[in-house]
Structure 1
Amino acid sequence: MNIDQADPAELAVLRAAFDVDDGGESALGWEAVHAFEAEHGIVLPEPYRTFVAEMTDGSYSGPPEYGLLSVAELPDDWGDDEQERDLSKPFPLAEAWMWEEASDQSEDADELLEQVYNHGSVVLGTDGCAMNWHLIVTGPHRGHVWLISDVGAVPFGEQFGFTTAEPGFAGWVRHWAANKPWYDAA
């Protein structure tokens, strides 16, 4: 997973999965990508960065279940729109956390939960029922995809033990395009 250079093979997988053939009309364009990055104090990880700049900035065809959101969009069921999201602050997790099962419901846990939702990620889309896919844009997990729901947060990729998929945005899309269940590890 190379998050600093766009791999032509990964870009080909993305083009095939989304069947983007509109001459780039639905793409954000490099100027808009650079403006988004400057506004938020981040650099989007590759190949997602090239994907939104050159291919498409969102898609109704998925993944996930309800389609891929625009880089600046939040799902309709997001909740508190007044909450400030700061993409430049590092995403706080490095391993799965099921807060629904956690015995520590302290103020520190509440603060960490707030950071999970609002720091260091763009929301890729939703599978409904507040199950949202995030691409981590800052912190140690930059470039990885996470499923964040109302009960916990789980990283996506074979090295985390829940799936056979390759990590990162391209691995996530490739897994979806192969019509595999998200979490298919035995």
Structure 2
Amino acid sequence: MESWDRAGVRARIREMAARDPGLVRFGADTHRYELAPRLPEAEIRAFEESHGIDLPVEYRSFVAEVGNGPAGPSHGLMPLTVSRPEADEEWAVDAEWWEDRLPGRLAEPFPLTAPLPGRIGVPTEALTRGTLTLAEQGCGIFTRLVVNGPRAGQVWQIDPDRGGFVPVSPGFRTWYTDWLESP
């Protein structure tokens, strides 16, 4: 897998911030075009071992080479892990984020084999197993990375009230790069 151009990603984010000093672009007032430090390999490995998973390579390499959020699509990329002082940050304590870290949730395979469009009639907890929250879009809409099962590596959006649970990108790199390249 090709590694990330850390300097290039950070330069593009600085450029985006310079074009949006008032933080008017959707989500910018939350992530503020800032990237947290990269995660040490030992911390990533400990996360994987504690959850019984291997993170998709594109995402894993991002948090290891570029940063642990938050600059990114929607209200920003949620961190893979947080240290104690960061635990009080609004973007780090979203209920979806904490649910993902409950024992066994990530190790279960993602249950969908096809998109589920429209209003979702089952509890979202049953559908989000084997996925990791990447970003919140607001109004109960979340972008999730499939970490386990046949669709591992894909990025899906869940909108329980209107849009269902549908794939939005074949992988993390495409999803994040699309945001970086957007005007």
TM-score of the pair, normalised by structure 2: 0.69
Cα-to-partner distance string for 1:37-67 (whole Å, 9 max, x where unaligned): 00000000111111112321112x322x211
Q: Where does the alignment leave 5 or more consecutive residues of structure 2 unmatched? A: 15-34, 83-90
Contact 2:36 2:68 in 1 (8 A): no
Secondary structure of the residue that 1:127 maps to in structure 2? strand
For the structure 1 residues 115 and 99, does the alpha-carbon distance in structure 2 shift closer, same or farther, using more than 3 Å as the test? farther
1:72 and 1:98 map into 2 onto residues whose CA distance is 31
1:66 and 1:88 map into 2 onto residues whose CA distance is 26
Q: Where does the alignment leave 5 or more consecutive residues of structure 1 unmatched? A: 1-5, 158-166, 181-186
Cα-to-partner distance string for 1:111-153 (whole Å, 9 max, x where unaligned): xx43212x11111111111111111110010000001122310
Contact 1:75 1:125 in 2 (8 A): no
Matched, 1:41 2:41: no
For the structure 1 residues 77 and 45, does the alpha-carbon distance in structure 2 shift closer, same or farther, using more than 3 Å as the test? closer
For the structure 1 residues 133 and 79, does the alpha-carbon distance in structure 2 shift closer, same or farther, using more than 3 Å as the test? closer
Shift of 1:93: 1.0
Instruction: Output the amino acid matched with 1:71.
Output: L
Hey, which bits of structure 1, 4+ residues long, moved more than 3 A?
A: 17-21, 72-85
Secondary structure of the residue that 1:126 maps to in structure 2? strand
Matched, 1:154 2:166: yes
Instruction: Output the amino acid matched with 1:17.
Output: V
Instruction: Output the amino acid matched with 1:93.
Output: L
Structure with more helix by fraction: 2
For the structure 1 residues 171 and 15, does the alpha-carbon distance in structure 2 shift closer, same or farther, using more than 3 Å as the test? farther
Aligned residue for 1:175? 178
Counting matched residue pairs gives 150
Secondary structure of the residue that 2:76 maps to in structure 1? coil
Aligned residue for 1:97? 116
Say what the alpha-carbon RMSD is for the aligned residues.
3.0
Aligned residue for 2:37? 26
Secondary structure of the residue that 2:57 maps to in structure 1? coil
